[in-house]
Amino acid sequence: MSMELKKAIDQISKDKGLERDMLVATLEEAVRTSVVRKYGDDIDVEVSYNDESGEIEVYQFKIVVAELDDEDEDGNAHIVLEEARKHDPSVQIDDEMGFRLKVEDLGRIAAQSAKQVIIQRMRDAEQELIYDEFKDRRGEIISGIIQRRDKAGWIINLGRTEALLPKEEQIPREHYKRGDRVQAIIIEVRKEGRGPQVIVSRSHRDYMAALFRREVPEVDDGTVQIMGVARDPGSRAKVAVLSRERDVDPVGACVGIRGSRIQNVVQELRGERIDIVVWSPEIATYARNALSPAVISRIVVDEEENLLEVIVPDDQLTNAIGRKGQNVKLAAKLLGWKIDIYTETRYNEANAIGRGLEQIASVAEISIEQFVTAGFQSIERLREASDEELASGLGIDDNRIADLRAAINFLSPAPSASDGDDADGETE
C-alpha cells in the first residue's frame, strides 16, 4: 500500500506537471485535517510523509499532567503521569510525549475526507499553474478548437484549459460551428473561483499587429515598427508603420512581393481591407497619409482643440469621407485627433464670411458670438436687416446701430449699379 502511494504521487506529478514537494505537502495537510476532524481542534498532531517507506506518519503530542481537567476529559491534549510512565519511566510533569497514530484508524469517512482535500488541492495547484502560464502570454496568438457556445460567447478548447471569445470580441458576420479551428489573441487572463479564465479576441487592434509580426520578419525584428492600428473589424483597417532603416520601405515590407504578406493577414481576417500608411511625427503629414487615397489640398492644425481642418478638391470629398464615413473615422481613430473635412469651395466661402464678420464685429465693438446667436451669420444678412431686427437681436440702441451700418459700409460696401453693369458686360 505504501509503495502504491509513492507511485501515485510520482505519476500525478508527471501527468499534471505539478511539483512533487507540493503534492506531498498537500497530502500531509489533508491527513492532518482528517485527524483534527475526528479527534477535535484541541489535538496536537504532526504529519509527515516518509519518502523511503512511502508511508504517512502521524504523531500525536500530549503534555504530562498530574490529572486530567474537565476541559480535556478525552485526553487528546494531556496524559496523566502514571499512564505516561508506562511508556517512559523517566518522564516528568509538563514534559511533552509523542505517540504514533495509525492512519488506518482514521476510519472510512476521515479517509474519504482526506481524498477530497487532496483532489481539491491538486485542482487548485493545477489551476494556479495554468494561470501562471497564460498570464504572461497576453498579446500572443493562440489556436484552439471551437467547443461550444454559451451566453457570453464561444468556448475554445486550448488543450490544458479553455478560452472565451466574447461576442464583443468577435468579427461581425463571422460564423463558427463546433469543431472549427480558430485563432485569436489573448487580451486578458482572469482569476476566478472555477479556474483561470482566458479571454481572447479577433476584433482587437492588437490582433492585427500580432498577425503582422508573425507574417513580416521586419516587423518581428523591429526594423519596421507598427505605430498605430485602427479597425472597423471585418470591413476595413488602417495600419501606421515606420521604418528604422533608410533602405527599408515599411509599406513594401508589410505588403510583400505581389501582396503575399498582407494577403495572409487579410485572409485570416475574412477579407478585411487594410491600408498601410506611413507614420510621421508631423501631424499634418501623418493626416495626409492616413486619409489616403483621397487627395488633400491643405490642412489647418488647431492644436488647442486637437482638431484638423482638412481641405480637399471638390471632387475628392467622397474619397476623403469614405463609405458611411469610414475613411475619415478610421483616420481620426489612428491619429487620435478630430477631423473636419471641407471642400475648397465651402471652406473658402465660410472663411471669407468669417473674416468679414470678425472685422465688422471688431470695429462695431460687438462680439461675433452675438451676431451668430442673433442669426446674423453673413455680412449680407446684416446689411438686409432692419433697424428693429438689429435692435432686438443684438440689444443695441440707435447710435450703436448707426455705428454698425457705418462699419458695414466701410469694410464691405454694397456693389453699385455701375459695378453690376461692368460685371454683366453692359458698359457704354
Question: 16 and 120 share a domain?
Answer: yes
Q: Which amino acid is at 396?
A: I
Q: What is the CATH number of the domain that holds 329?
A: 3.30.300.20
Q: What is the DSSP string of 403-415?
A: HHHHHHHHHSPPP
| pLDDT band per the 50, 70, 90 thresholds, residue 285 | very high
Pairing of the two strands 141-150 and 162-166: unpaired
Which domain range does residue 199 map to? 138-203
Q: Among 50-64, 169-183, 285-299, where is mean pLDDT lowest?
A: 50-64
Question: 240 and 323 share a domain?
Answer: yes
| pLDDT band per the 50, 70, 90 thresholds, residue 106 | low
Own/partner long-range contacts of 32-41 (Cβ < 8 Å, ≥24 apart):
32/58, 33/113, 33/114, 33/117, 34/106, 34/110, 34/111, 34/113, 34/114, 34/117, 35/101, 35/106, 35/110, 37/110, 37/113, 38/106, 38/107, 38/110, 39/74, 39/76, 40/74, 40/76
Q: Which helix (H) or strand (E) holds 96?
A: strand 96-101
Residue 80 has pLDDT above 80, yes or no: yes
Q: Among 320-334, 364-378, 386-400, where is mean pLDDT lowest?
A: 364-378
| pLDDT band per the 50, 70, 90 thresholds, residue 417 | very low
| pLDDT band per the 50, 70, 90 thresholds, residue 427 | very low
Q: Each residue of 215-274: pLDDT tens digit?
A: 999 999 999 999 999 999 999 999 999 999 999 999 999 999 999 999 999 999 989 999
The residue among 281, 280, 293, 374 whose CA lies nearest residue 326 is 293
Instruction: Supply the pLDDT for residue 75.
Output: 67
Residue with cell 480637399: 312
Question: 329 and 407 share a domain?
Answer: no
Q: Establish if 348 belongs to a structural domain.
A: no
Q: Establish if 378 belongs to a structural domain.
A: yes
Output the nine-digit C-alpha cell for 127. Answer: 489551476
Question: 197 and 219 share a domain?
Answer: no
Three-class SS state of 276: strand
Q: Is 154 exposed, middle or buried (0-12, 13-18, 19+ CB in 10 A)?
A: buried
Greater confidence (410 vs 254) lies with: 254
Please give the mean pLDDT across all residues of the chain: 84
Residue 3 has pLDDT above 60, yes or no: no
Q: Among 32-41, 114-123, 385-394, where is mean pLDDT lowest?
A: 114-123
Question: 320 and 419 share a domain?
Answer: no
| pLDDT band per the 50, 70, 90 thresholds, residue 423 | very low
Question: 280 and 296 share a domain?
Answer: yes
Q: Establish if 190 belongs to a structural domain.
A: yes
**Residue where a domain stops, chosen among 203, 228, 260:** 203
Q: What is the tally of structural domains in the chain?
A: 4
Q: Establish if 354 belongs to a structural domain.
A: no
**Residue where a domain stops, chosen among 203, 225, 240:** 203
Q: Establish if 409 belongs to a structural domain.
A: yes
Residue 318 has pLDDT above 50, yes or no: yes
Question: 274 and 193 share a domain?
Answer: no
Residue range 57-84: average pLDDT? 80
Question: 265 and 231 share a domain?
Answer: yes
Question: 213 and 189 share a domain?
Answer: no
| pLDDT band per the 50, 70, 90 thresholds, residue 103 | low
Q: Which amino acid is at 82?
A: E
Q: Which helix (H) or strand (E) holds 90?
A: none
Q: What is the CATH number of the domain that holds 178?
A: 2.40.50.140
Residue with cell 502521524: 58
**Residue where a domain stops, chosen among 203, 224, 253:** 203
| Alpha carbon 405 to chain centroid, angstroms | 59
Question: 150 and 105 share a domain?
Answer: no
Q: Is 267 exposed, middle or buried (0-12, 13-18, 19+ CB in 10 A)?
A: exposed
**pTM (2 d.p.):** 0.62
Residue range 4-29: average pLDDT? 74
Q: Establish if 119 belongs to a structural domain.
A: yes
Question: 158 and 175 share a domain?
Answer: yes
Residue range 75-97: average pLDDT? 85
In the chain, % helix, strand, coil (3-state, to 5) comes to 45, 25, 30
Residue range 138-152: average pLDDT? 92
Question: 57 and 152 share a domain?
Answer: no
Residue range 118-125: average pLDDT? 72
Greater confidence (71 vs 339) lies with: 339
Q: What is the DSSP string of 139-186?
A: T-EEEEEEEEEETTEEEEE-SSSEEEEEGGGSPTT----TT-EEEEEE
Sequence-distant (6+) residues with CB within 8 A of 63 are 77, 78, 79, 94, 95, 96
Q: Establish if 428 belongs to a structural domain.
A: no
Pairing of the two strands 236-243 and 273-278: parallel
Q: What is the CATH number of the domain that holds 126?
A: 3.30.1480.10
Q: What is the CATH number of the domain that holds 397?
A: 1.10.150
